[in-house]
Structure 1
């Protein structure tokens, strides 16, 4: 086992302080072309997805507050395709785990997997959305804009995808995924624009986060500007996102994966663990060890399949049925394959070092991250210290130390 040292990574850090979020929501929802769509007595659905978005409960609560102040009757709907095993109760539980509860937000949550056809794309695809959303007087689409983990396009993870796959529930997700990821860049705007045309979308609230998982952009987008504005926000998100400043290593160690961290368990835009050939980038490595899965994932081990070794601890937490439902919907099976299972963290890391080719086995290049959301501090092995010391965006902030394994061989 190599000795490791703590390193601080430097990124841009524009952000909206938590105390400023209520006023920001007041400001963006007070714009004439937004405010005019909020009518007294109208039942308005607000979407909440399955991603671990910082401040999502607070942002949702403030949107609810403004809608209620204007006399509307807001309610929240989980908008997450097939996540939660494609079960309505599970989808509600997912957003409640984020703090999005009826008590906190001050309005009902309505969760269903039932859908209603609201139109057809120009190519003849049936387009469906959540039944409660379809029956509402208006829909506010709330979502984070960021690079996708499986494809590249003008629209990736964001408002268009939230409408197409999130609001589309399992049927909408299946309709897009069935064609394969190769066509996702075309289908998402095709379906999304059909929803904008035929559904009662009022406006979107786009969230962009910085490299520290902090809210840095909150923007209300009128219905007729969503298609134009989202690609511009995506470009900003790409510039702000975290990364590993070292370009390649022998072994990457990821302490935890999780659906609340990334749709792929770990964001391949950072880790390089892409499950399709339609996106690329991130760290280059020979082997990846994944050690655990977050409690918030409820046993969904999406991402474990992109590792070469894992632990018995992770495997014991796995809910394979729920994991497979998600994989079946996305049509990507690699993410739920079971890698080599070792009894401890030490054994999983050692296996990856041992099986790496053409390396200095006495001084392996190893990078350890807690997860792909928290990237300010990482650990690197002694062999990478010289490279790190010369990089303008890296600062060595600790001393070389043995990896802190307990008596069972697990990191603490």
Structure 2
């Protein structure tokens, strides 16, 4: 029997945020001058991540470009996302509200690329053909810790230039070198694309732990290498975290590509899922259960291989072709391997508890909505003593059953 209760707790993280994102971006762009003639074409590179206020940010960028007398268009700056098809990548943007009607610029989606000079690099360098043929390029991306590796540059504008603007062909080229490619080749590849591809501006975004826009910085291309590491440090300081390091069973209500590039953030759960790369020693989670896949993932279940158990609900939503294409492109197949499939939430919890060698009443259980939303979560009674002296944590009087009589998880909110 799973007759135990969980208590809701709230975590307070640094709450820095921008109240008027569009206005702030407009102020950042004021005074920026680019060496472009009237009527020049400007490609705005937009990625596949669920960035807060993305539609407003893109719309404000388009508005500024038009105001300069130039002609903007949007390109999906993605590697294997959207099933590595033009239609799929455009659909990803549309899911985030990036349509011509909403942002005021057409979307030109293609996987066709141009090969650029590699100038001695071990890898070839590619760039989206539409972007290459534009008179100028603006890259928009969130800056945050990467899910595969750690270094001076992780997820951000440099990676957007290298992998996003390089499309699927560049992703395949970089990923064939494994983690080494990500650690050592993204920056020099980005330099070539910036140099030969007329990348002029970048809009770097940092979010707080509540997924609110905390920082927007407009950078000229020559500033990327100096300024992006500073923004990355701020992103690390603002990112959410679990309140405890020792967990028997972690229940995650949803995962997906709009939550993290790997579906669930390895920086949160401590599991990397890359052969030869060590998991984060500080976090010790015995069993992870995934109960649903987000609609925004469009069936891409990359990251399920980091879990131990998934529900039938998840399994029925998986687009294996899209998932496997993403995994094979990255070279990290472990992340797409199928965990045990439980018919119900209740069965999934039972499997996870048994794998952790724990009974329900003697287990350290934590339930979260997803790895981005950690402001409110539920914990079992055994976890509560660890929270007593932690700052920024409120133990509420809301208690819910671990599972309902119908075998489903009770509503999170």
TM-score by length of 1: 0.95
Q: Deviations over 1:339-360 (max 9, x none)?
A: 1111101110111111213x56
CA deviation after TM superposition for structure 1 residue 197, in Å = 1.4
Match of 2:348 in 1: 348
Quick one: distance in 1 between partners of 2:216 and 2:356? 44
The 1:37–1:397 alpha-carbon spacing in structure 2 relative to 1, beyond 3 Å, is farther
1:339 corresponds to 2:339: yes
Can you list the C-alpha shifts for 1:251-304, whole angstroms capped at 9, x where unaligned? 111010010000010111112231125465474211111111001111111111
- Alpha-carbon distance in structure 2 between the residues aligned to 1:75 and 1:194: 22
Correspondence for 1:376: 375
**Following the alignment from structure 2 to structure 1, what is the Cα–Cα distance between the partners of residues 224 and 314?**
40
**In structure 1, how many angstroms separate the alpha carbons of the residues matched to 2:391 and 2:37?**
52
Q: What SS is found at the alignment partner of 2:332? A: coil
Q: Distance in 1 between matches of 2:350 and 2:250?
A: 12
Render the CA deviation track for 1:11-57: whole Å, top value 9, x for unaligned.
0011001xx222212221123xx323454211000011111100011
Q: Distance in 1 between matches of 2:28 and 2:237?
A: 23
RMSD: 1.5
What residue ranges of structure 1 are gaps of 5+ in the alignment? Answer: none
Residue 236 (str. 1) matches residue 247 (str. 2): no
What is aligned with 1:320?
A: 320
Deviation at 1:387, TM superposition (A): 1.0
Which residue in 2 is equivalent to 1:57? 55
**1: CA distance, partners of 2:119 / 2:330:** 21
Task: Report if aligned partners of 2:206, 2:235 keep a CA contact under 8 Å in 1.
Answer: yes
What corresponds to 1:135 in structure 2?
Answer: 133
Secondary structure, counterpart of 1:401 in structure 2: strand
Bigger drift between 179-188 and 45-54 goes to 179-188
Taking structure 1 as reference, are residues 180 and 235 closer, same or farther at Cα in structure 2, changes over 3 Å only? Answer: same
User: What is the alpha-carbon distance in structure 1 between the residues aligned to residue 255 and residue 224 of structure 2?
Assistant: 32
Supply the distance in 2 between the matched residues of 1:236 and 1:314 (Cα, whole angstroms): 34
CA–CA separation in structure 2 for the residues paired with 1:225 and 1:333: 35
2:174 maps to what in 1? 176
Q: Secondary structure at the match of 1:259?
A: coil
* CA distance in structure 1 between the aligned counterparts of 2:151 and 2:311, rounded to whole angstroms: 35
Count how many residue pairs are aligned between Structure 1 and Structure 2: 407
CA distance in 2 between counterparts of 1:409 and 1:375 reads 21
Query: 1:97 — aligned with what?
Result: 95
Task: State whether residues 85 and 321 of structure 1, in contact with CA within 8 Å, keep that contact through their aligned partners in structure 2.
Answer: yes
Q: Any idea what SS the aligned residue of 2:400 has?
A: coil
Please give the alpha-carbon distance, in whole angstroms, between the structure 1 residues aligned to 2:168 and 2:178: 15
Instruction: Report the 3-state secondary structure (helix = DSSP H, G, I; strand = E; otherwise coil) of the residue aligned with 1:397.
Output: strand
In structure 2, stretches of 5+ residues that fail to align are: none
Where does 1:82-231 land on structure 2 (aligned, <5 Å)?
82-231=80-229
Q: Answer yes or no: is 1:394 the counterpart of 2:393.
A: yes
Shift of 1:223: 1.2
Distance 1:114 1:321 in 2: 21
Alignment partners' CA distance in 1, 2:88 and 2:29: 31
SS of 1:176's equivalent in the other structure is: helix
Aligned ranges for residues 354-365 of structure 1 at < 5 Å?
354-357=354-357, 359=358, 362-365=361-364
Q: Structure 2: how far apart are the matches of 1:286 and 1:219?
A: 40
Q: Distance in 1 between matches of 2:404 and 2:360?
A: 20
Asked if structure 1 preserves the Cα contact closer than 8 Å seen for 2:143 and 2:157, the reply is: yes
Structure 2 counterpart SS, 1:398: strand
Runs of 4+ in 1 over 6 A off after TM superposition: none
